[in-house]
Amino acid sequence: MTDSPARTAPSRETPWWRDAVIYQIYPRSWADSNGDGLGDLPGITQRLDYLKDLGVDAVWLSPFYRSPMADAGYDVADYRDIDPIFGTLEDADALLARAKDLGLRVVVDLVPNHTSDEHAWFQAALAAAPGSPERDRYMFRDGTGPEGAEPPNNWQSVFYGDGWSQVPDGQWYLHLFDTKQPDLNWDNPEVREEFHDILRFWLDRGVDGFRVDVAHGLVKEAGLPDYAGPMHLLGEHGEDEVVPEPSADHPVAPMWDRDGVHDIYRGWRSVLEQYADRDPILCAEAWVEPAERLARYLRPDEMHQAFNFEFLETHWRGADLTKVITDSIAAESIVGAPSTWVLSNHDVVRHATRLGYPPVGKRPNGIGADDPQPDAALGLRRARAATLMMLALPGGAYLYQGEELGLPDHTTMPDAVRQDPTYHRTAGAILGRDGCRVPMPWAKDAPSFGFGPSEQTWLPQPEAYGDLAVDQQDGVAGSTLEFYRSALRLRRELRLGLGTLSWLAGYPAEVVAFRVRSGAGGVQVLANTGPADVPLPEGAEVLLASGDLVDGRLPSDTTVWLRD
């Protein structure tokens, strides 16, 4: 791999994260070193070289903390320890050291909206009386109705069902997610202090930042008013669904995106400033629209990045993509922040599967054997096209493990193995997110496709993963893996993430057509979402294409980078 200027230490003007490509590792599913069927930290450490070769700048690790795993680790029982299924704190140190040697930064997941019900604080709250300081760290309330037998308000859980559960003495506690994920009370100074300390704990160990879980949910409106609007998160709402404008009848959601959250992040930013030599980051997982609201998380004294979920949610239609890119860049430039592009993660159907359906209607929350199946070839073709478009966009980008192999979701997984709390809370009516969390295939002919030394995998791998395994694609011209490597190399050489975007005229609306120029060069990007071939400009030099060009024309569902 060639070294390029962007690989050198960032200068003050260009902090590393502004154009970083960050690869999300879902630790349970990346590499299993001990054959128990669950990925672990030593497994990650052993395979970090693969990411160096891929050409990413950093990794983000989904939670590895001590947890009863009611929500795959997003239910944290101890923020300062590693769950035994993943390893030990020493394993975490070894991972950080190896990443540092390789020049890869490491971002960890922080889950501040809720703890596990098995966290020492929640256990203390249960043991203490109503009104006690222990209960005040969480959202305990008396019930309503005769003998307080009804919940304090009508809030629902994002994972469906009631947002409140009752404890033996009659009080109720709020959980916007699973019963086993009680919400913290962020009005309590002790909670704020504790999280400053947790930030310092991991910064002192050497991490380069935090992806902040449910960053828009921490502060709830005083009085906890009833709310009848949608609880959507995780990109499952449909484009045709009309979310009412806030009014007296339909107030804004009292649990999402309250102004008070910003104070919390200002406090965190000041903690991070004490580690300025490393320039650690905060990245918001905030399902907030429109882009102007999301941009508020990116004001100069708050977070550095916020996932652009509006982009992820946009269907494969040229005009819609052009609009979401335009709006995102405009909103974020007001606060001086770069956009943070993303197409897949552990909460949504992978884009190679999502894009294998017609570009209309509601996005599914999980796909099962009884559902219409995606067109896998079309999905992969469009996924490659979407990725090539994304990797040219100015700003940062996140990749989700396995997308560089073109992995689809497991869309015929037996229901009996599903683990997502959504599946269980809806008695199977909503399948949930297991399909995108299946263990990685590293080698076609090895047990568990090389995920670990045994046949065991915590979720079954679909047969199709064999041909997509790393060893089937490594060094194979035209493979999705080599395609990602080329795109990342060019992006780095041309410093596209630090470039400036302008739109190209003269193309039909189905074609997303823009140019990105940086001090190191530039590209013209044409992404054809329409049915008809599009001619390339006279004399164009093709740098990279997501699929074969036909007689110098750009076919349907293909993206090309031309030298600018």
**Residue 213 falls in the annotated catalytic set:** yes
- Amino acid 232 reads H
Catalytic site residue from 32, 285, 302, 420? 285
- End-to-end Cα distance, the chain: 23
Contact residues for 300 (Cβ-Cβ < 8 A; gap 6+):
335, 336
Residue nearer to ligand GLC on the CB measure, 413 or 469: 413
Tell me the torsion sign for CA atoms 112, 113, 115, 121. Answer: positive
Between residues 182 and 408, which has the closer beta carbon with respect to ligand GLC?
182
- Distance in Å, CB of 168 to ligand GLC, minimum: 26
Active-site residue (options: 71, 117, 213, 313) = 213
**204 exposure class (CB count in 10 Å sphere: 0-12, 13-18, 19+):** exposed
Q: How far is the CB of 22 from ligand GLC (least distance, A)?
A: 15
Nearer to ligand GLC, 234 or 536 (CB): 234
- Point out the residue whose Cβ comes nearest to ligand GLC: 74
CA atoms within 13 A on the CB side of 254: 16
370 is catalytic: no
Q: Tell me how many degrees the CA angle 88-90-94 measures, rounded to the nearest 5.
A: 120
Maximum C-alpha span of the chain: 79
- H helices of 369-528, in order, are 376-392, 421-425, 470-473, 480-493
By the 8 A CB rule, do 157 and 175 touch?
A: yes
CB of 119 to ligand GLC, least distance (A): 13
CA distance 290 to 284: 15
Give least dist CB 403 to ligand GLC, A.
Answer: 16
Cβ–Cβ under 8 Å, residues 122 and 138? yes
Q: How far apart are CA 437 and CA 146, in angstroms?
A: 44
Quick one: 70 or 490, whose CB is closer to ligand GLC?
A: 70
Residue 509 beta carbon to ligand GLC: minimum distance, rounded to whole angstroms? 33
Cis peptide before 290 (omega within 30 of 0): yes
- For ligand GLC, the closer of residues 50 and 202 by Cβ is 202
Choice between 128 and 430, CB closer to ligand GLC: 430
Shortest reach from residue 511's CB to ligand GLC, in Å:
33
3-state helix, strand, coil in the chain (%, to 5): 30, 15, 55
User: Cα–Cα distance between 182 and 187 in angstroms, integer?
Assistant: 15
For the bound state, the minimum distance from the C-beta of residue 287 to ligand GLC, rounded and expressed in Å, comes to 8
Cβ(243)–Cβ(250) under 8 Å?
no
Nearest residue (CB) to ligand GLC, 141 versus 346: 346
| Residues near ligand GLC (CB under 6 A) | 71, 74, 111, 177, 213-214, 233, 285, 346-347
Closer to ligand GLC by CB, 186 or 484: give it.
186
Question: If DSSP states are collapsed to H, E and C, what string results for 334-389?
Answer: HCCCCCEEECCCCCCCCHHHHCCCCCCCCCCCCCCCCCCCCCHHHHHHHHHHHHHH
Name the E strands within 250-365.
Answer: 281-284, 305-306, 340-342
Q: How far is the CB of 347 from ligand GLC (least distance, A)?
A: 5
Catalogue the active-site residues. Answer: 213, 285
